[in-house]
Chains A and B, each alone.
Chain A
Amino acid sequence: GESVGLHLPTLSVQEGDNSIINCAYSNSASDYFIWYKQESGKGPQFIIDIRSNMDKRQGQRVTVLLNKTVKHLSLQIAATQPGDSAVYFCAENRDKLIFGTGTRLQVFP
């Protein structure tokens, strides 16, 4: 079946380090992916998106990489800050959002 999944349930990083959160997908026809951040008690918040005609996209402190060959995408957060602590979801957007299971990012001083 179709699925979007994440490799690690929890990622702990030191403040100032870079974070990398990974996601795998199974549908080779997937062409639009979005990363969301969900803080405790809040709804998911859009971070960055990427389409299948790109392999990299950069935002403010964040970069998304897409490898269509192995059906994998990653979210890189530069100079991770305490405010980055949250659960991060990758989602495939095919009119409806198909979410992965999420990775909890913990930032320690």
Chain B
Amino acid sequence: DSGVTQTPKHLITATGQRVTLRCSPRSGDLSVYWYQQSLDQGLQFLIQYYNGEERAKGNILERFSAQQFPDLHSELNLSSLELGDSALYFCASSASGRGDNEQFFGPGTRLTVL
């Protein structure tokens, strides 16, 4: 158990809908990262937050957004969903926002768009 929690574990929805994925980092970790894992694209970095502020952006679509709240939990919002958005979404946390800090991954949310 990494100490990172993600909810829900599974999510099934229809095209055009909007969903919110939630992540709670390990106790004491200030940085949260979101990754998408799909069969054709592999594991890809989406976005990073550090202590409530956006720190880095990766291959995140404009239809996707995220935020980190004062209690350090984070939410990833996916809107206007398409079939291709079906994937595993992982959250990771680290103590700081520095690149040399180990990232601990949550169990993921499996999103299926029908």
Give A contacts to B, CB under 8 Å: 32, 34, 41-46, 49, 89, 91, 93-102
Contacts and interface: CB of A to CB of B under 8 A. Distances in A.
A34 B101 CA distance: 11
26 contacts: A32-B99, A43-B2, A43-B4, A43-B105, A43-B106, A43-B107, A43-B108, A45-B2, A46-B102, A46-B103, A46-B104, A89-B43, A93-B100, A95-B55, A95-B56, A95-B98, A96-B48, A96-B56, A96-B58, A97-B45, A97-B92, A98-B45, A99-B44, A100-B42, A101-B42, A102-B42
A34 B108 CA distance: 20
A95 B73 CA distance: 20
Interface string B19-46: 0000000000000010100000011110
B31 to A, nearest CB: 10
Nearest to A98: B45
Contact of B99 (A42, A45, A94, A100): A94
Interface in B68-107: 90, 92, 97-100, 102-107
B41 to A, nearest CB: 10
Given A43-B105, A45-B105, A93 B99 contact: yes
